[in-house]
Structure 1
Amino acid sequence: MDKEIVPGIMADDLTAFNHAYSLYHKQIYQFIFKKTQSEYIATEVVQLCFIRLWEKRKTLNEDTALNIQLFGMARQVMIDELRKETARLKYNNGSSQVPFTDNLMAMIESRDMLKHFEREIESMPPMRKMVFNLSRQNGLSYAEIAEMLGISTKTVEGHIGKVLSRLKSYMFTILM
């Protein structure tokens, strides 16, 4: 279904675009509303996201699912809108919503930090990356990981320690 929509949109087919809108506008609205608790921002983001989709239609990736591309656009539009809203609220003498918006921006920026961490983890040796992912993403204990991989729990601890040390070091370099 998605595979036919992207080439259609890229070929300036309004029917394909309208189909994409009908498929995804509600999902994007709910996604943004869940993050912001703002009907206004959710509505704005949906509209701007689909405007951006049409404007960037020639550069869409046919190999990436449309929903993934749309949600990426929506996230970026949401960040842009929150920044604008934060500036507007601060300019209007610090409305009571500023702390909420600042906290939301901090959450989004921390997610960006997580993406940097994920890239850093991806660049690590395969065994270290696997041990870390089994621990953090799958919630396995050191003993379970050791048994599964046929290594000692001390080796598991060593891998986790090296990953955490590298991430702390990476975070320190970003913050300085």
Structure 2
Amino acid sequence: MDSNGDKDLVFRLHDDDIGAFDMLYQKYHQAIYRNIFKLTKDDDIARDILQDIFVALWEKRADINPDQSVSGWLFVLSFNKSISYLRKKVRETAVVNTMHFAEMETDNGDVQLMDEQYYLLQQAINQLSPQRKKVFTLCKLEGKTYEEAAEKLNLSKHTVKEYLGHAVVAVKNHIKEHQAEWKTAGVIMVCYWIGTN
């Protein structure tokens, strides 16, 4: 994870630098797409949501805190938009009586809810050991494969899988313990998303 590089890119975004935006897109679009696709199971929808995510990144560039992980910000926003899509789809197919998703709509400017979700996710990640934190960030937020993470961290693929397994359990447990800070369906869905490979 190149947090200093991301921090510099966010500062450049604040100065309306389209090159910084392009670099963040190149770095994260594949991982964000994969995360969206895990929930939506629809390539066209995943691509539409991905486009919305990066439009939002550009539109909200002045509000992004350079001291926070931009990959975490993208993760939370893409999760919220995916849930919003699923909730709308459920309504449209009249299954709303048997399935209730959390009110996690970010399109209406519920920045505070997104910030709270982001804070809880960051809190969960920050309680990990340094090595597990690196593995979790690379594999879950940046979408790296076990092999890519192993090469980057100079570890074996087996060690990466082991660290990631422990990290996922710890993050899920932390989120569940603090579920009062989330809406219940959001806890269930984010734990599902984090736990999928």
The two structures have a TM-score, normalised by structure 2, of 0.46
What do the CA deviations read for 1:6-26 (whole angstroms, capped 9, x no partner)?
Answer: 111121111101111111111
Query: 2:6 matched to which residue of 1?
Result: 2
Instruction: Name the one with the larger helix percent.
Output: 1
2:89 aligned with 1:60: no
CA distance in 2, matches of 1:66, 1:137: 22
Note the 1:27-176 alignment, pairs <5 A: 27-87=31-91, 89-90=92-93, 94=94, 98=95, 102=99, 105=101, 137=170
CA distance in 1, matches of 2:59, 2:68: 18
Of structures 1 and 2, the one with the larger relative CO (CA 8 A, separation 6+) is 2
Question: How far has the Cα of 1:36 moved from its partner?
Answer: 2.4
Superposition RMSD on alpha carbons, in Å? 3.7
What is the identity percentage for the equivalent residue pairs of Structure 1 and Structure 2?
33
CA distance in 2, matches of 1:5, 1:33: 26
Over 3 Å counting, the alpha-carbon distance change for 1:137 and 1:16 in structure 2 is: closer
Which consecutive residues of structure 1, in runs of 5 or more, have no partner in the other structure?
Answer: 109-114, 123-135, 139-165
What do the CA deviations read for 1:31-55 (whole angstroms, capped 9, x no partner)?
Answer: 1112222212211211111111111
Query: 1:111 matched to which residue of 2?
Result: none
CA distance in 2, matches of 1:58, 1:17: 12
CA distance in 2, matches of 1:4, 1:20: 11
Q: Which amino acid aligns with 2:35?
A: F
Q: Which amino acid aligns with 2:62?
A: K
In our comparison, the structure showing a higher alpha carbon Rg is 1
CA distance in 1, matches of 2:17, 2:34: 26
The two structures have a TM-score, normalised by structure 1, of 0.51
Q: Return the match for 1:19 from 19, 23, 43.
A: 23
Which consecutive residues of structure 2, in runs of 5 or more, have no partner in the other structure?
Answer: 105-116, 125-168, 172-176, 185-197
CA distance in 2, matches of 1:68, 1:74: 10
Q: Is the 8 A contact 2:39 2:82 kept in 1?
A: no
